[in-house]
Amino acid sequence: MIRIGYFEAFNAVMLSGSMTAAATMMHTSQPNISRSISRLEKETGLKLFERVPGKLLPTSDGQALFEEVQRSFAGLHRLTEAASRIKRLGSGKLRVGTIQSPSLSLVPRAIKCFSKEFPQVTLSIHSAHTSILTQFVREHSCDFAIVAYEEENGGVDSEILYTTDAVCILPLLHPLIKKEFITPKDLAGERFITFPRGELSREFLDRVFREADVEPLIAIETSYSSITCSLVVQGVGVAVVNPYIAREYLHAGLVARPFIPAPQHREVLIFPAGKPRGRLVERFVELLKSLVVKDQESISKMLQAYP
């Protein structure tokens, strides 16, 4: 196969009018250009130039080849530009799975940053429970997902996005907001909003109250912390939730306090097992992690603010 460098040297000679000028254009020596032209003539069997004293004149074959080279190089230039554009703007589709809680703030904010960097990438967002999302990732229906836990024998690769202590959330005028932190005994007799039985978060909370010898007054059960926060804002009751959700309702009049001892919440990133993640997935995950760091700082400030 003829080396592309021979055609590049030929193109430079045709554009510049001499081998010396072509060598300058290509940042090489005149003998290298001369050798490339000779080898191209030998490989193609074409006489490309008439060599006369002081001049280098293209033959009709040389001129015809130059026109083909120009078209090919123009196509190569378009391909190079396309590759640069894809690297800069991205291309294709990214399928993101998420449980309900990060879909309210963390994921939309990551999408905003991601879309600025990769405006030509289409995003497909799937919200479901952990078991369903694990199936989506295992079947490659999602490129990755944010879930509450990694299922045993899930057939996925995983890493922790964050782990955090739950917080107690209260209506704005509730007497307990004067306390620096809340304990299970503080909530005795309070209308309590919690998760349905059978969910891990409910099991963790029940254990905390049981060990404190407190029987919470269960008023409402819901799987969705966003609904819980809205109900607390309305003064329907109090609750213990993920602080990443609580921070989104501070503007509505919700107050958060540290809860001791606190059950933990965590979110896990899962990926198809053994599959390369790809540039788009890696960048989206980077954005998620950077936002988590910022959120941790704002959560710390949220919990330090008390009368």
pLDDT for 218-252, tens place per residue? 999 998 888 999 999 999 999 999 998 888 888 88
* Domain end point (choices 74, 89, 104): 89
Of the chain, the percentage scoring pLDDT greater than 90 comes to 45
**CATH assignment at residue 60:** 1.10.10.10
Are 36 and 102 in a shared domain?
no
Residues 186-215 have pLDDT tens digits of 999 999 999 999 888 889 899 999 999 999
Q: Is 236 in contact with 253 (CB distance < 8 Å)?
A: no
**What average pLDDT score do residues 170-183 get?**
92
Q: Which residues, other chains included, contact 224 with Cβ-Cβ below 8 Å and sequence gap of 6+?
A: 100
Range of the domain at 20: 4-89
- Residues 35, 151 within the same domain: no
Per the listing, tokens 């990133």 go with 269
For residue 305, how many other CB atoms are within 10 A of its CB? 10
Domain co-membership, 247 together with 280:
no
Q: Can you give the CATH number for the domain in which 235 is found? A: 3.40.190.10
Q: Determine the average pLDDT of the residues in 145-151.
A: 90
Q: Do 255 and 182 fall within a single domain?
A: yes
Instruction: Find, among 21, 1, 5, the residue nearest to 13 by Cα.
Output: 21
- The answer as to whether 305 is a domain residue is no
| Gap between the Cα atoms of 37 and 47, Å rounded | 10
Residue 303 lies in a domain: no
* 106 shares a domain with 42: no
110 and 233 in a common domain: no
pLDDT of residue 89: 44
Q: What count of residues does the chain have?
A: 307
Structural domain includes residue 304: no
Check residue 90 and give its pLDDT: 46
Mean pLDDT, residues 151-157 taken together: 82
pLDDT at 81 exceeding the cut of 80? no
Overall average pLDDT of the 258-272 stretch? 93
Comparing 11 with 91, which gets the higher pLDDT?
A: 11
Residue range 37-80, pLDDT digits in tens: 888 888 888 888 887 776 788 888 888 888 888 887 777 666 56
Q: Is there a single domain that holds both residue 129 and residue 276?
A: yes
Q: Which pTM value belongs to this model?
A: 0.67
Q: What is the mean pLDDT of residues 21-37?
A: 87
Identify which of 264, 228, 274 has the alpha carbon closest to the alpha carbon of residue 100: 228
In a domain, 54, yes or no: yes
Residues 254 and 172 in one domain: yes
Residues 175 and 230 in one domain: yes
* Residue 85 scores a pLDDT above 70: no
Number of domains in the chain: 3
User: Is 306 contained in some domain?
Assistant: no
Residue 15 φ/ψ, nearest 5 degrees: -75, -35
Three state DSSP letters for the chain: CCCHHHHHHHHHHHHHCCHHHHHHHHCCCHHHHHHHHHHHHHHHCCCCEEEECCEEEECHHHHHHHHHHHHHHHHHHHHHHHHHHHHHHCCEEEEEEECHHHHCCHHHHHHHHHHHHCCCEEEEEEECCHHHHHHHHHCCCCCEEEECCCCCCCCEEEEEEEEEECEEEEECCCHHHHCCCECHHHHCCCEEEECCCCCHHHHHHHHHHHHCCCCCEEEEECCCHHHHHHHHHCCCCEEEECHHHHHHHHHHCEEEEEECCCCEEEEEEEEECCCCCCHHHHHHHHHHHHHHHHHHHHHHHHHHCCC
**208 found inside a domain:** yes
